[in-house]
Amino acid sequence: MQKFKNMRVFNFDHSEGLTQIPDISGLPSLEEFSIQNCGTLVAIDKSVGFLRKLKILRVTHCSKIQSVPPLNSASLVELNLSHCYSLESFALMDNGFVGKLKILRVMGCNKIRIIPSLMLPSLEQLDLSDCISLESFSHVVDGFGDKLKSMSVRGCHNLRSIPPLKLDSLETLDLSDCYKLESFPSVVDGFVGNLKTLNVKSCQFRSIPPLMLSLLEELDLSYCLNLESFPLVVDEFLGKLRTLKVKSCRNLTSIPSLKLDSLETLDLSNCNSLQSFPLVVNGFLGKLKTLLFTNCHNLKSIPLLKLDALETLDLSCCYSLQSFSLVADGLWKLVLDDCKELQEIKEIPPCLRMLSAVNCMSLTTSCKSKLLNQVYELFCFYL
């Protein structure tokens, strides 16, 4: 292997029939080593762990590999062990100190239960998604520095807790589909001021601690069936938020006052206990395009709101809704099916092209007459 001693990149990807990575100690200059989609691979020689200049190691979609030898971590910048379905463990030398590692991906490793103790002062991306047996990664959290931008434990069905986080640099946090996660991780000082995306869909905790979310752009709380209260947002400010999904939070009764100047999509469908429309600071939702309240059975009224950009409004099956009044000149689709208590639609927006008000049994005769007089202007009309 003498003639290859200056080799920097070695690629074993898609090597059919390969069962073992041989001794590669004769490649001291190797910086990038890729072993991907090797379905018959069962073992990697321990010499991989002594490559002092190795920066990138990718061992992915190797379904039979059970372990990776301890790795030298002095130069490692990226480690990807994703979709190695039989992998049970991995380890790093130097007592887990990985000073230069920026990317750690261990996605879809079904048998990994614990992530080893690691110190990761330079880490920017951590993805442990779909590690369905993972129970703990507390030692990793203790070792985070101040550069982490993205963290995902999506689909870690057996993960029960996450230690307190102090992640001033975090931009994306995905805790979705962690069915056994008992509580939202406490955030030191409540500050995640650089967070842009927060996804906790299908988590079962009852509350979320107060958070500072001044740069948040997307918040998904959908299917948090036990959630009893909306997160308390410091200073009520969500002025950068574009998407808010609270679908099927069946125990949520109210949403506090919020500043939502940039909101484009608001989905509150199937919130059966929601009694009132969120109180919007200044009553301004000038960029809102989609507003969904389907199956909000206890919603009685909607306050007067200025919705210049609204295109779609769905209030179907809001059984208790009696009236609503909107300034929404751009609205083109309005669905009011099964709003059994609704008595009046005060005004049809000029751009409306679809109106459905099936089974609105309490609509007044004068309101129905007004709707029928304007039906020729609509492309779709159901009453």
Classify residue 148 by burial, with Cβ atoms within 10 Å: 0-12, 13-18, 19+.
buried
DSSP conformation class of 283: G
With cut-offs at 50, 70 and 90, classify the pLDDT of residue 381: low
Contacts 24+ apart (CB under 8 A), 68-72: 68/44, 69/44, 69/45, 70/46
Fold category of 1-147 in CATH: 3.80.10
Residue 120's pLDDT is 85
Which pLDDT tens digit goes with each residue over 229-260? 888 777 777 889 999 999 999 999 888 888 88
Out of 127-131, 181-185, 295-299, the most confident range is: 127-131
User: Can you tell me the distance from the alpha carbon of 299 to that of 39, in angstroms, rounded to the nearest whole number?
Assistant: 54
Find the range with the poorest average confidence among 80-89, 317-326, 354-363, 370-379.
370-379
- 3-state DSSP call for residue 289? coil
Q: Which residues contact 203 (CB under 8 A, 6 or more apart)?
A: 175, 176, 177, 178, 179, 181, 184, 224
What is the number of other CB atoms lying within 10 angstroms of the CB of residue 326? 20
* Whether residue 316 has pLDDT greater than 90: yes
**CA-closest candidate to residue 196, choices 241, 151, 260:** 241
Position 245 scores a pLDDT of 96
DSSP conformation class of 184: P
The pLDDT of residue 222 = 96
pLDDT at 374: 64
Sequential DSSP letters for 108-130: T-TT--BPPP-BBTT--EEE-TT
Q: Give the DSSP H/E element, type plus range, for residue 333.
A: strand 333-335
Q: What is the mean pLDDT of residues 20-39?
A: 93
| pTM to 2 decimal places | 0.90
In 161-300, where do the E strands start and end? Answer: 172-174, 197-199, 218-220, 243-245, 265-267, 290-292
List the one residue out of 280, 279, 291 whose CA is nearest residue 246. 291
Write the pLDDT tens digit of every residue in 75-99. 999 999 999 999 998 888 777 778 8
The yes-or-no verdict on residue 140 having pLDDT over 70 is: no
Checking if the pLDDT of 190 tops 70, the result is no
Q: Which is more confident, 190 or 16?
A: 16
Which residues contact residue 254 at a Cβ distance below 8 angstroms, ignoring those fewer than 6 apart? 230, 274, 275, 276
Residue type (1 letter), 172 = T
Please tell me the distance from the alpha carbon of residue 329 to that of residue 209, in angstroms, as a whole number.
38
Distance from C-alpha of 100 to C-alpha of 122, rounded to nearest angstrom: 6
Tell me what the pLDDT averaged over the chain comes to: 87
Lowest mean pLDDT segment, chosen from 152-166, 238-252, 286-300: 152-166
The whole-number pLDDT of residue 270 equals 96
Range of lowest pLDDT (28-42, 184-198, 202-216): 184-198
**Percent of the residues in the chain that have a pLDDT greater than 90, as a whole number:** 48
In a 3-state reduction of DSSP, which class is residue 299?
Answer: coil
Distance between first and last Cα of the chain: 80
Name the DSSP letter for residue 186. P
What's the confidence (pLDDT) of residue 266? Answer: 94
Question: What is the pLDDT at residue 79?
Answer: 96
- Per-residue pLDDT for 176 more than 90? yes
